[in-house]
Chain A
Amino acid sequence: MTSRTPTVCPYCAVGCGFYITPNGVEYMQDHPVNEGSLCPKGNVAPDVLNHVERLRYPMMRTGDGWIRVSWSEALDRVAEEMPRALREKGPKALAFLGSAKCTNEENYTFQKIARLMGTNSIDNSARRCHSPTIIALRRMLGTPAMTNPISDLALSDCIFVIGSNLAENHPVVARWILRAKDRGAAVIVADPRVTPTAWLADLHLQLNPGTDIALINGMINVILGEGLEDRSFIRERTRGFEELDVSDYTPERVSSITGLSAADIVRAARLYAKAGASSIVYCMGITQHSCGTENVTACANLALICGQVGRPGTGILPLRGQNNVQGACDMGALADFYPGWRSVDDSGAIDELRRLWNARSLPLGRGLTADMMPDADLRFLYVMGEDIVNSHPAVARRRERLKRGFVVVQDIFLTDTAKLADLVLPAAAWAEKEGTFTSTERRVQWVSRAREPPGDARPDLWILSEVAARLGFDLPHDPEEVLAEINQAVPAYGGICRMNAGRRGGIIWPCPHPDHPGTPVLHTERFSTPDGRARITPVHHPAPERTSPEHPMILITGRVVLHYNSGSMTMRSEGLVKREPELHVDVHPDDAVRFGVADGDTVMIETRWGRARARAKLTPGQKRGTLFMPFHFPETNLVASELLDEKSMMPELKVAACRIWRAD
């Protein structure tokens, strides 16, 4: 191990590179994504390594306490409980939760164990961030992933940001948008709140929460009405255009739904359609809705009718949340997909894997998703690097139900989920092991080992291969060997190896063979659908969650710059906690007067799902009639809606009718 080891940031999915040195972080000036700089979380990323609260030894539950056990005792126990549950209740009694923070090799191995045990009940946190992206983009474009690299944004003439506060959540992306602005590009931001991202906008569309489809259909209405669509692109490269009827979505009607002026809708439509190269950037403000899949579909429709896909500076750019969300999904750690995006219903495609894995049979049909697991009759649950209790609204309320079977949690900290476990296995953090991570732009980067894990903690892959061996499966424990198998199981990763993924900036998939340079821009000639054409798919504005006299406000949830997801990492980083220590709720000053709330008051927020206590923060950037709470604090998930998008099983986290009152 040298004194300076290149690595990839373990936080969001932008995939920034930096060096770990004995003194902390050193910037990597020549990294193609971040060119050296990092956001606050990246700057303190090494804080989690060697943190005093790191799990150091395997621990078994004894009544209310824990005892330290040896690795062989711990692994034997897993290998005892898993087959027992299988014998007693069949494969439906087993469930597995993979991790968008673990490597591709680890997720691949984890889902393989689940499937060899006969169940498709394997999921990962992508369910809560981008499952609608997966469903919609796979169906429409053939590939469920970002179409162009982030740096391509600098080449856009118009950037349409919808449902993303990237300036806080993916600050490095703002770098490329500012570069486009320097060239004269127009930036449109659609968000109910005045966020730091909205500060970048030339046109800020402060729409009502949950009215994205109406807005986009309204823009399409204007584009078709003014003949701004790309006829030849539609004719040659798409199907389904004739079914796209948006005649109801006149700017005037859309204005009444969204609360925007008709003129702004027309302006946005013209800016997007007339620009030489336009891109759409979206995030969880689009996906975390009970109509999330339709929201993504609407975004793709807009891009397709304007021919804004398949060229530099164009495209559809979903910003993923965790460093390996894309990879965990590519590896098939999903209830509805096997590795390489083989549908769980496609027995032909699965048959190839059956042969590769030398398995007698593999399960068909969708397994349990993360939100369904607490309600299922489980006897065995294996959680790898995921704090499901703090991140799933439904699970937070039904946490006790998870304890009905044997629960194994493998993590770097004793998270709230780990506290429920019967057995806790200490894992190595990202910089203490090797393997590949796939960023939001499909960039696969090899991470080298920079530190020894603390105590007896072990890389997840080592733990999984030891468990597998005890179950009678001979799975490789070396990341390079696993990657070689992934080359065969996941066609887009066919040529990815330690060598090309280990280069500065790694390699962008699809990379079908070892000499392939990678594919930064997708869909240049044809889409990855069977016939090469994209599918335009009509969608309509749904009946939204409505306010009532009892719940007169709409609650929006989201992120703040200093924290990350459930907080299991950032809440242990002093520099971050000090600056953002407690849950707050943003309130417009007019609403504050209406409900008798002053800045700094302790308030209660109640939805029909639950109650939470928070500190009121008055800000004119909050839209009147709405409240905003960051979801890094467990209380927020207690009030978030439990409604689900039936297509993707995404919970409706962004919109819930609520009321607010002073608590003291």
Chain B
Amino acid sequence: MKEILVRPERCVGCRSCEIACAVEHSQSRDLFKALSEMPQKRLYVEHVPEHSLAVPMLCRHCEDAPCVGVCPTGALTQDSLTGVVRHNRDLCIGCWTCASVCTYGVIGRDRRARAAIKCDRCPDREIPACVAACPTRALIYGEVEEVSGARRAASALKLAQGVAASSR
């Protein structure tokens, strides 16, 4: 199952992902869109200046997602196959309970619609908008096993280079 994974060490905090996300989730998604529309993002680039980093924060679609468990109306459901946590705006009453239990603080609020607003992993797209937009590939879309494997290989290479250098 593919996931959106974050490599904070590559993030330059440009917020391209935020904009792409907002555009993807705007109602009109077109050039003639009403100026009154306020497209909202579903991920948040958090700057951590003390550590010279920025970290894109977005819904992890947790296994046994707490937001789904606490949703009183059943507006939040989790697909048993894909693990994607979906949100049904028609059932949402804007009670904010999901946001209060979200470990990552990535459930936002659409005040006008009185509804929660969260990452839906762009169901209409092959690659989520934020991943496609990221200029530095800080966001990647892939199987956790593949990504971890690649990361292990990269770390192993660094270790090996270190060992080789010190034995020279």
A residues with CB within 8 A of B = 22-25, 27, 34, 36-40, 42-44, 46-47, 49-50, 52, 167-168, 171-172, 174-175, 178, 182, 184, 194, 196-200, 451, 561-562, 574-576, 578-579, 619-621
- Given A43-B133, A578-B38, the answer on whether A171 and B16 have CB atoms closer than 8 Å is yes
Q: Which of A197, A451, A561, A576 has the most CB of B within 10 A?
A: A561
In the complex the two chains form, is A561's CB within 8 Å of B137's CB?
no
Interchain nearest-CB distance for B150 vs A (Å): 11
Residues of A within 8 Å of B29, CB to CB, are 23-24
B residues with CB within 8 A of A = 10, 12-16, 18-20, 22-23, 29-32, 35, 38-39, 49-50, 52-54, 132-137, 154, 161
In the complex the two chains form, is A174's CB within 8 Å of B52's CB?
no
In the complex the two chains form, is A198's CB within 8 Å of B52's CB?
yes
| Listed A/B pairs (8) with beta-carbon separation below 8 Å | A23-B29, A37-B134, A38-B16, A40-B15, A43-B19, A167-B13, A196-B13, A621-B49
Residues of B within 8 Å of A184, CB to CB, are 161
Residues of A within 8 Å of B52, CB to CB, are 194, 198-199, 621
Interchain nearest-CB distance for B157 vs A (Å): 9
Q: Which of A39, A42, A562, A576 has the most CB of B within 10 A?
A: A39
Interchain nearest-CB distance for A403 vs B (Å): 32
Residues of A within 8 Å of B30, CB to CB, are 22-24
In the complex the two chains form, is B15's CB within 8 Å of A579's CB?
yes
Q: Which of A38, A182, A184, A199 has the most CB of B within 10 A?
A: A199
17 additional A-B pairs beyond A23-B29, A23-B30, beta carbons within 8 Å, are A37-B134, A37-B137, A39-B135, A40-B19, A44-B23, A47-B31, A50-B31, A167-B12, A168-B12, A171-B135, A182-B154, A194-B52, A196-B13, A199-B54, A579-B15, A579-B18, A620-B49
Q: CA A109 – CA B53 in complex, angstroms?
A: 47
Residues of A within 8 Å of B20, CB to CB, are 38, 43
Q: CA A167 – CA B20 in complex, angstroms?
A: 17
In the complex the two chains form, is A49's CB within 8 Å of B31's CB?
yes
Q: CA A562 – CA B52 in complex, angstroms?
A: 19
- Given A50-B32, A52-B35, A174-B136, the answer on whether A575 and B49 have CB atoms closer than 8 Å is no
Interchain nearest-CB distance for A431 vs B (Å): 10
Q: CA A38 – CA B20 in complex, angstroms?
A: 9
Closest partner residue, chain A, to B158 (CB atom): A184
In the complex the two chains form, is A196's CB within 8 Å of B31's CB?
no
- Given A25-B23, A43-B23, the answer on whether A561 and B13 have CB atoms closer than 8 Å is yes
CB within 8 A of A178: which of B19, B23, B136? B136
Residues of A within 8 Å of B54, CB to CB, are 196, 199
Residues of B within 8 Å of A50, CB to CB, are 31-32
In the complex the two chains form, is A171's CB within 8 Å of B31's CB?
no
In the complex the two chains form, is B35's CB within 8 Å of A38's CB?
no
In the complex the two chains form, is B19's CB within 8 Å of A575's CB?
yes
Closest partner residue, chain B, to A179 (CB atom): B137
Residues of B within 8 Å of A38, CB to CB, are 16, 20, 133, 135
Interchain nearest-CB distance for B123 vs A (Å): 16
CB within 8 A of B19: which of A27, A36, A44? A44
CB within 8 A of A561: which of B10, B14, B22? B14
Closest partner residue, chain A, to B53 (CB atom): A199
Q: CA A171 – CA B136 in complex, angstroms?
A: 8
Residues of B within 8 Å of A174, CB to CB, are 12, 14, 135-136
Interchain nearest-CB distance for A588 vs B (Å): 12
Interchain nearest-CB distance for A369 vs B (Å): 33
Closest partner residue, chain A, to B54 (CB atom): A196
Residues of A within 8 Å of B15, CB to CB, are 40, 561-562, 579
In the complex the two chains form, is B14's CB within 8 Å of A178's CB?
no
In the complex the two chains form, is A43's CB within 8 Å of B16's CB?
yes
Q: CA A101 – CA B122 in complex, angstroms?
A: 34
- Given A43-B19, A50-B32, the answer on whether A175 and B49 have CB atoms closer than 8 Å is no
Q: CA A23 – CA B27 in complex, angstroms?
A: 11
Closest partner residue, chain A, to B21 (CB atom): A43
Q: Which of A23, A46, A194 has the most CB of B within 10 A?
A: A23
Q: CA A198 – CA B12 in complex, angstroms?
A: 10
CB within 8 A of B50: which of A39, A42, A46, A620? A620
Q: Closest 8 interchain pairs by CB?
A: A167-B12, A171-B14, A40-B19, A199-B52, A196-B12, A37-B135, A43-B19, A171-B135
Residues of A within 8 Å of B10, CB to CB, are 178
Residues of B within 8 Å of A24, CB to CB, are 23, 29-31
